[in-house]
Structure 1
Amino acid sequence: MRKLIPVILALIGLAAGGGAGYFLRPPPEEASHDEADACVDVQHAAEVAHDVVEGEPTTEFVKLNNQFVVPVVREGRVSALVIMSLSLEVKLGMTEKVYRSEPKVRDALLQVLFDHANSGGFDGNFTGSTNMERLRVALLEVSQNILGDSILSILVSDIVRQDV
């Protein structure tokens, strides 16, 4: 009997808590739109969905195959490694041109990343918005020098810094 009392008390507590939760639940929310507003909302949603289906994409994204590994050198020694993955936003149909020119593009992008590292760009808060925007602009300029205006933007998909 001594072992049965705690079980009975637990069941009573569980039932009381469930009953209190059921009776104290908030009332159901009423619809805040009248029928005219709901009709307009449905029509607007249909128009937006129609535009997305009909709208042809004008850009595509090209992920560069390998990551970029950039050493951060301080006092003649490698103090950290920055590893980045980059993608290019290009005009539709330019993916093949980017892949054909990838070695030259990678070389130019690496040079910009090395210059950024040597100027202290990967020190401290290296992912701050101002610092990253400056890096993206430099990467975009060098990419456009090689591939022309078909490059629209640079996307940094991954970035990590490992102190050595």
Structure 2
Amino acid sequence: MIKKLLPILLALVGLGAGVGGGLMLRPDPEIVAIDPCGDTEAAALHDAEHGGDEEVPPENTAFEYVKLNNQFVIPDLDGGRVTAMVVLSLSLEATTGSREAIYAREPKLRDAFLQVLFDHANTGGFKGAFTDSSTMNALRRALVEVAQKTIGPQINDVLVIDIVRQDIG
């Protein structure tokens, strides 16, 4: 009888511990900065908790994320020989409603991105600690610059969604 009840009892104890842990580790609810009734006390509390120095994007600017259809494959060369392959997936942060314009110009954008990625690889950007924040920030800046030249000012940022480097040989 005890052999049959023990697994059920252990499952209930485990379930209870999981629920209890989940409740204890749940993040605090966000405080609304502006009360719809005009109460500014909630806004003052929010500013006091978060320092009040947050940079807030303009209210009239809404962004959507446009994932580019295919990954980018970049060879990493050393002395004319391919020593590694780098695969990246990119998405664009763009103003809402610009998705169709981006997809219409995607071949031109991919060509421009490939040139930036090849230049980055040729200057050693994918060697060593290639995911270092300063290296990745330089790559993102170059990608944003070429995206804005190709598509226009509706591009706000370029997001590196996935990055993988496979050494060869």
**What band does the TM-score fall into relative to the shorter chain?**
0.5 to 0.7
Identical counterparts, % of pairs:
54
Residues 61, 95 of structure 2: 8 Å contact kept: no
Structure having the larger proportion of residues in helix = 1
- Separation in structure 2 between the aligned mates of residue 97 and residue 144 of structure 1, nearest angstrom: 13
Partner of 2:144: 140
Aligned-partner residue type, residue 134 of structure 1: A
Say if 2:65 is the partner of 1:82: no
Secondary structure of the equivalent of 1:149?
A: coil
- Out of 109, 112, 123, the position equivalent to 1:108 is 112
Q: In the aligned structure 1, how far is the partner of 2:147 from the partner of 2:87?
A: 19
**Match of 1:79, SS?**
strand
- 1:148 aligns to what SS in structure 2? coil
Instruction: Give the secondary-structure state (helix, strand or coil) at the position aligned to 1:105.
Output: helix
AA at the equivalent of 1:63: K
Unaligned runs of 5+ in 1: 1-40
- Whose Rg is larger? 1
CA change 1:78–1:60 in 2 (3 A) is: same
Give the alignment's Cα RMSD to 1 decimal.
2.4
Normalising by the residue count of structure 2, what TM-score does the alignment of the two structures yield?
A: 0.65
Q: Deviations over 1:114-143 (max 9, x none)?
A: 000000000000000000000000000000
* Distance in 2 between residues matched to 1:144 and 1:57, nearest whole Å: 16
| CA offset digits 1:79-103 (Å, max 9, x no partner) | 0000000000000100000000000
Distance 1:94 1:86 in 2: 16
- What's the TM-score once normalised by structure 1's chain length? 0.67
The yes-or-no answer on 1:96 pairing with 2:97 is: no
SS in 1 for 2:82: strand
Shift of 1:76: 1.1
One-letter identity of the residue aligned with 1:76: G
The one-letter amino acid of 1:163's match is: D
Distance 1:49 1:163, change over 3 A: farther
Return the alpha-carbon distance in structure 2 between the equivalents of residues 102 and 75 of structure 1.
32
1:128 and 2:142 are equivalent in the alignment: no
C-alpha deviation, 1:45, in angstroms: 3.8
3-state SS of paired residue (1:138): helix
Q: How far, CA to CA, are the matches of 1:71 and 1:49 in structure 2?
A: 54
- d(CA) in 1 for partners of 2:126, 2:147: 21
Compared CA separation, residues 157 and 48, structure 1 to 2 (3 A): farther
Match of 2:6 in 1: none
Structure 2 residue aligned with 1:149: 153
Query: Aligned to 1:60, which of 61, 64, 87?
Result: 64
Alignment CA distance shift 1:45-1:146 (3 Å): same
For 2:74 and 2:32, the matched residues in 1 are separated by 48
